[in-house]
Each structure stands twice: as C-alpha cells, then as structure tokens.
Structure 1
C-alpha cells in the first residue's frame, strides 16, 4: 500500500511539474509573440496579454501545491530546530493542518466563485464539450474558466498537506523525522 501511495504521490508531482513547465513556456511564448507583433509588425493580438496573465496565475496556483508537498513554503525552521523533537513535530503538524484548512477554504469558496462568476473575456474564443464532442465556440470565453484554478489548487494543496502529515508521522515512528528538512532529505 505504501509503494502505491508513493507512486501516486510521485506521479502527481511529476504531472504538476510538467504543467508548471508548460505554463511557463506558454507565458514566455505569448509575451515574445505579443511584443514582436506589437513593435515589429505593429499589429498586436488582443489575446496576447490576457493569455500571459492567465498562464502566470495558473502556474502560481499549481506551484503552490508543489511547494506545500515539498515543504518549500515559508517555514519556521529556526524554531523547529530549537524545540524538542516531539514539540517540533506537533508545531509542524499544526502548521500543515492550517495549510490543509486553507486548501479547504480554496475549494469551498473557489467552487462558489466559479459557479457564480459572471462575465466573459471579449478577446477570447474557446472550446466546450457538447453532445459528447469538443465544439469550437466563436463567442467570448466565460471568466469562470480562469477562476477554476482556485478550487483545483485547493484540492491539490489539501492533498499535499495530508501527504506531508502522513509522511512526517511515518518518519517520526521510524525515528528518521527531521523537522528542519523537507522531502529532499530522503523522501
């Protein structure tokens, strides 16, 4: 069971890392294309800046889940190293629980934001799934598509926090727990 869990954890991290890489590449490509079109051809696309910003937003939200899982977020390492091991474990678990709660807040209010979000991006066309097939929609893209990253990221953050808590608990039982180190210390 533990090996399956580790495989799933590793697969999720690899997929999120790949998404982040693709989104970063898209940000650069959209920016370069827009700048070249604006200053060389004097005909910038209306969608260039919007897609750059949307790629950036989605990249940051996916990277949030990765930082929670890899424990690369802002931590109290100085405090952890000064406390007795059991106390350091409890403090770190508490903060991971707070991050888990943040993920739940992102899910709950993110879903509400997506379902109630009005408006459309006038510069964007989009694709939709209708009647069992992908259909091109020549009208404006709903803004809720851009906001959909909030509940998705909330789910991934909560999942990462749970995985981190379980991993730390297993390390404490095995006697290999080090509160000042993340996954790079042998996970």
Structure 2
C-alpha cells in the first residue's frame, strides 16, 4: 500500500505541475500572439493553434485531478439534503461512472488518435495524431484516479489527506 500511495502522490504532483505549465504556456502564447498582432501587425500563424492544444490538454488533465481529489461538481448541492448513507452510494456511483468514462476514453481515444490522418503544416507538419493522444492519456489517468478513489471509499486503501506526502509517513 505504501508503494501505491507513493505512486498516487507522484502522479498527482506531476499532473498538477503539468497543468500549471500548460496554463503558463497558454497565457504566454496568447500574450505573444496579441502583442505581435496588435503592435507589430505580424501575428504568428502557430500561436492560436498551440494555445488551443494547451487549453484542451489542460482541461483533460484537470478533469483527472478533479476526479482524484473529488472536487468535481457532480451533484454537490443535493448531497446536503440527502441521508449520509445515500450520499456515500451516490458518490461511489459517480466514481464508477467516471472510471467507465476513463476506460472508454483510453480505449477508443487511442483508436481515434491512431487513425486520424493529416498534419499541422503550421507546426512543421506535426501529425494530427500527436495532440489527439490526450484522449487515451487523460482516459487512463481518469480511470486510475477513479479507481484509487473507489479503493479509498470501500476501505481497500487508506484515505489520504490533501497534500499528503508519503515520504513523511511512518
């Protein structure tokens, strides 16, 4: 279990860092494109495309983080008026559905990304399948996040606190 907890911590920190970097990249590309467009009247032809890719990757990775930290919207407002036992069942049901969505994204997302034809000329003829690989990557991460959280809910895995560092545990 300690190894699983360490894997969970490293993955959570890694995804969080990548999301922060993607946000910085989005802001940087947007500012650069706007300045080049308005001040120098010479916008880069690749700026909007890379900003869009960074945005899509950020959202997909953040969804996996939201599933793992259980900070998704789901039906949080309804939970306050339901009995605790029913709320636990609903939360578990949401996690099972998220795991199913993640599995579907991983399997069919890979097939879709692998089969897509063409290239982005503005990015040096980068194959269109490269940015599409976020589908299976995010799908796998969502599946893992939901599975780990389900394991915590059913008692197979000890519940973690926010920001737990497994290196500091006994």
CA RMSD of the aligned region, Å? 2.3
State the alpha-carbon separation in 2 of the partners of residues 73 and 84 from structure 1.
18
Higher strand share: 1
Q: Deviations over 1:11-67 (max 9, x none)?
A: 111000000000000001101111111111111111011001110000001101000
Q: Does 1:147 align with 2:132?
A: yes
Q: TM-score, normalised by structure 2?
A: 0.87
SS of 2:123 mapped into structure 1:
coil
Q: TM-score, normalised by structure 1?
A: 0.79
CA contact under 8 A between 1:70 and 1:183: conserved in structure 2?
no
| Aligned twin of 1:10 | 9
State the alpha-carbon separation in 2 of the partners of residues 84 and 23 from structure 1.
38
Deviation of the 1:84 alpha carbon? 4.3
| Aligned twin of 2:83 | 83
Unaligned runs of 5+ in 1: 126-139, 177-181
| Aligned twin of 1:33 | 32
Higher helix share: 2
Which has the higher Rg, Structure 1 or Structure 2? Answer: 1
